């Protein structure tokens, strides 16, 4: 079967608020997908529909080819891990993890074995007899994961599971989640509003905005080939340049790409593009990520035609990069430079090299 979980044309309103609008998503077995978007865009509502906590107004949820839209939550084996973990405070770690199986009347010795095994897998064997309030945030989070994983979930739903952890721990646990997901080949739907988290762990990212799916693609596609301004801005810093397309011709490198000449700031630049439907004479928005632009010193000899002069407005040294705001003929451009160690922080006039491969909106 091609797709493990399919969301078909889901709609859900609360009063006048359309929380989810005509949402279509297809998820393969063993894939980790994230729902990424700002607060209120419908991520949790979508998860609740998958889990069976909400019925959609329209549309279907299909798991393994079977319509489960109206199936009770406890019959669909799609456990959800919440931001606040929701562990039972009066039960020990062991009892918390065992709870779901006990309800399903799994034999005691099997429960014993499975809980022991999953706690070991998650590096928690020594805390089985503790209560949740005797655990760190990271440990509680892992217990919540263990509690869901022990059920061999069809689909594991994680709603902002890391937002209560500090920055370093968040990064560590997100890699652990990714490793578990690969090891057990679990289909996971992961909710976050942190773009870096989404890009780093997902097989595919679904970017949502006001209940609408704006784009569904690999992290690479979402970052380098965003479909619109909302997606481009949501997944990172971006420069949008209004340019005029002058000429489009086939590239002679045999890749099927095109070379396009475009006019910006009264200058003609050339770049390579894949099929982006550009026509000469049209005005288009060119997307430039800050790290794609290379600043070089004013006095540096360069022959590259794709270079333009600008003036540093301000700079912030962030360690791995220096972030500049640069004035280019009255337009403000954000540029990230990763070579500060070599040439120091630029001031005053700089030259900017535009990349040979860009994306137009």
Ligand X SMILES: Nc1ncnc2c1ncn2[C@@H]1O[C@H](COP(=O)(O)OP(=O)(O)OP(=O)(O)O)[C@@H](O)[C@H]1O
Q: How far is the CB of 58 from ligand X (least distance, A)?
A: 16
* HSE, side-chain direction, 13 A CA sphere, residue 215: 20
Contacts of 119 (CB under 8 A, 6+ apart): 93, 94, 97, 125, 127, 128, 146
Q: Establish if 193 lies at the interface with ligand X (CB under 6 A).
A: yes
Candidates 33-41, 135-143, 321-329, 347-355; binding stretch for ligand X (CB under 6 A): 33-41
> Per-residue string for binding with ligand X, 12-31, x by CB under 6 A?
--x--x-x------------
192 counts as binding Mg ion under rule CB under 5 A: no
- DSSP states along 27-87: E-TT-EEEEE-STTSSHHHHHHHHHTSS--SEEEEEETTEE-TTS-GGGS---EE-TT---
* Span from 42-50, 140-148, 221-229, 324-332 in contact with ligand X (CB under 6 A): 42-50
Q: Is the dihedral of CA 340, 342, 345, 349 positive or negative?
A: negative
Compare residues 207 and 288 and give the one whose CB is closer to Mg ion: 207
Whether the CB-CB separation of 249 and 213 falls below 8 Å is answered with no
CB of 234 to ligand X, least distance (A): 13
Could you say which of 40, 59, 236, 355 contacts ligand X (CB under 6 A)?
40
Contact between 44 and ligand X per CB under 6 A: yes
Closest CA to 23 of 31, 181, 33: 33
CA distance 199 to 220: 8
186 binds, among Mg ion, ligand X, none (CB under 5 to 8 A by kind): none
Query: Please, what is the minimum distance in Å from the beta carbon of residue 167 to Mg ion?
Result: 20
For residue 343 the two structure tokens come to 């040439």
Residues 35-54 binding Mg ion (CB under 5 A) are 44
Single out the residue of 34, 45, 202, 322 in contact with ligand X (rule: CB under 6 A). Answer: 45
Binding residues for Mg ion, per CB under 5 A? 44
């Amino acid at each position: 079967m091609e797709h493990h979980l399919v969301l078909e044309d889901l709609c859900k309103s609360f009063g006048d608020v359309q929380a989810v609008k005509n949402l279509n998503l297809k998820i393969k077995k063993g894939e980790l997908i994230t729902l990424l978007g700002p607060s209120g865009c419908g991520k949790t509502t979508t998860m609740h529909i998958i889990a069976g906590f909400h019925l959609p107004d329209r549309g279907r949820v299909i798991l393994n080819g079977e319509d489960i839209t109206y199936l009770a939550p406890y019959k669909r084996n799609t456990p959800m891990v919440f931001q606040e973990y929701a562990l039972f405070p009066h039960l020990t770690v062991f009892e918390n993890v065992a709870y779901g199986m006990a309800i399903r009347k799994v034999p005691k010795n099997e429960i014993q074995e499975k809980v022991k095994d999953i706690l070991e897998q998650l590096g928690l064997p020594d805390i089985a007899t503790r209560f949740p309030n005797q655990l760190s945030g990271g440990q509680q989070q892992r217990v919540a994961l263990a509690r869901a994983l022990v059920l061999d979930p069809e689909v594991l739903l994680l709603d902002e599971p890391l937002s209560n952890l500090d920055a370093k721990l968040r990064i560590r646990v997100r890699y652990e989640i990714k490793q578990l997901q690969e090891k057990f080949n679990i289909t996971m739907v992961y909710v976050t509003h942190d773009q870096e988290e989404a890009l780093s762990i997902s097989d595919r990212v679904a970017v949502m905005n006001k209940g609408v799916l704006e784009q569904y693609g690999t992290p690479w596609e979402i970052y380098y080939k965003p479909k619109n301004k909302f997606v481009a801005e949501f997944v990172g810093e971006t420069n949008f340049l209004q340019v005029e397309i002058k000429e489009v011709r086939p590239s002679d490198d045999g890749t099927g790409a095109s070379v396009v000449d475009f006019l910006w700031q009264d200058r003609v630049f050339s770049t390579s593009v894949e099929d982006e439907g550009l026509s000469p004479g049209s005005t288009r928005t060119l997307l430039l990520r800050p790290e794609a632009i290379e600043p070089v010193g004013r006095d540096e000899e360069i022959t590259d035609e794709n270079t333009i002069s600008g003036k540093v407005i301000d700079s912030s040294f962030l360690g791995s990069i220096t972030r500049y705001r640069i004035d280019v003929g009255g337009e403000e451009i954000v540029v990230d430079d990763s070579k500060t160690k070599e040439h120091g922080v630029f001031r005053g006039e700089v030259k900017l090299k535009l990349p040979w491969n860009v994306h137009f909106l």
